[in-house]
Amino acid sequence: MTTRSLHLPVAAQPRVDSLVDLAQLGERHGYDTAWLPETWGRDAVTVLTSIARETDTIELGPSVVNVYSRSPALLGQTATTLQEVADGRLRMGIAPSGPAVIEGWHGLEFDRPLRRTREYIEIMRAVMSGETVHYDGDIFSLSGFRLRCDPPAEPVPIDAAGMGPKSVELAGRFADGWHAILFTPEGFRNRLEDFRRGVDLGDRDRDDLRVTLSVTACALEDGDRARELARQHLAFYVGAMGTYYRESLSRQGYEDEALEIATAWANGNHDEAIACIPEALLDDLAAVGTPERARKELAKFESLEGVDDLSIGFPRGASSDDIETTLEGLSPDT
């Protein structure tokens, strides 16, 4: 059975307590997990700690923290500590992010993202085992240290996000799950084949792994406004966040549209970029409109074979009221 989770807003909220309130609301409405993005706003660790203290049953995790701005050993320590604070409810999501954030914000070279992700997974697991870590990789070499506290009583699953064939294969081969973001139903099916190939290469049991699909959602009585908010959101990601989202959209059969969006955005024509998203593409990527329409579109994603957890996210421009209305209108209890 597919669980339904909550992808907390990527846009800045008024205060940390606003995110805590949304996680509590999600818990009351039966959402399985509260996923927290980390970009260039509040850090995920502090916010997740606050959420863990104020919730009881909902699972928690970042989706995602990048594999550049913190060392792999530190992320292992962080996961250990958050698991203790959350009473065993933590699930980590990691990924390379992209050059726009890693180079433009963190000032680091975006080097060997796939290899780096694999080594992070391996080192984090070694750290959280509680044993002395001896690791000799292509990027990292560690030796002679172990946790000074008890290892997690409950192992912390480590998921990897990915959009391209090799990154998704890596998730299936080495991680405990895959986070899929900005996929059409057909695009998801294609990448699921890469995930399954990774599972086979790693001699893994598919039943032990979790696939989380994040879908942008907005369910408002003013359905036209909900769709316009989603258009703005998608245009920003394709146009402003480097090449990864554009390339992913191109692989999914929307090469011309992706190029038009990116070109218009790069030229400063943001309204034109938004207008480049046709109705069919919007429905292929999101669940937006009136509550009735949004629920119908969401069911299309939830019924996809291979989805274990469907996570609803929100447009960047959505207000607090828009987010709460959507969260309640699309909740598992509805």
Q: Give, as one character, the DSSP assignment of residue 12.
A: P
pLDDT > 90: what percent of the chain? 96
Name every residue whose Cβ is closer than 8 Å to that of residue 292 and which is 6 or more positions away in sequence. none
Contacts 24+ apart (CB under 8 A), 235-241: 235/261, 235/265, 235/270, 235/273, 235/274, 235/276, 235/277, 236/265, 236/316, 237/182, 238/262, 238/265, 238/273, 239/264, 239/265, 239/266, 239/270, 239/273, 240/100, 240/265, 241/98, 241/100
Task: Give yes or no for a contact between 196 and 172, defined as CB atoms under 8 angstroms apart.
Answer: yes
Once rounded to an integer, what is the mean pLDDT over residues 2-17?
Answer: 95
* Nearest CA among 38, 19, 96, 30 for reference residue 59: 30
Same domain, 257 and 169: no
**Together in a domain, 165 and 229:** no
Whether residue 247 sits in one domain with residue 207: no
Is the predicted pLDDT of residue 333 greater than 90, yes or no? Answer: no
| 109 and 191 in a common domain | yes
Answer yes or no: do 200 and 281 share one domain: no
Tell whether 48 and 177 lie within a shared domain. Answer: yes
Sequence letter at residue 178 = W
How far is it, in rounded angstroms, from Cα 63 to Cα 36? 5
pLDDT-based confidence at residue 204 (cuts at 50, 70, 90): very high
In a shared domain, residues 211 and 85: yes
Three-state DSSP state, 181: strand
Q: What is the pLDDT of residue 242?
A: 75
Using an 8 Å Cβ cutoff, are 331 and 30 in contact?
Answer: yes
Q: What is the pLDDT of residue 122?
A: 98
Render pLDDT for 173-203 as a digit per residue (tens, 0 to 9): 999 999 999 999 999 999 999 999 999 999 9
Quote the pLDDT of residue 1: 84
Beta strands in 12-132 (DSSP E): 33-36, 59-62, 65-66, 92-95
Number of domains within the chain: 2
Q: Is residue 334 included in any domain, yes or no?
A: no
Residue 165: predicted pLDDT:
96
pLDDT value of residue 334: 75
Q: What are phi and psi of 132, to 5 degrees?
A: -65, 130
Q: Tokens 């001699």 belong to which residue?
A: 203
* Confidence bin at 243 (pLDDT 50/70/90): confident
Full-model pTM: 0.96
pLDDT tens figures, 284-316: 999 999 999 999 999 999 999 999 999 999 999
Range of the domain at 319: 3-221+287-329
Residues 152 and 9 in one domain: yes
Is a pLDDT exceeding 80 seen at residue 105?
Answer: yes
Confidence grade of residue 111 (pLDDT, cut at 50, 70, 90)? very high
Same domain, 161 and 74: yes
Could you say which DSSP state residue 150 is in?
A: P
pLDDT confidence of 244, banded at 50, 70, 90? confident
Angle, CA 170 vertex, CA 167 and CA 174 arms, to 5°: 150
User: Which of 286, 301, 317 corresponds to the end of one domain?
Assistant: 286
Task: Identify the CATH number of the domain in which residue 322 sits.
Answer: 3.20.20.30
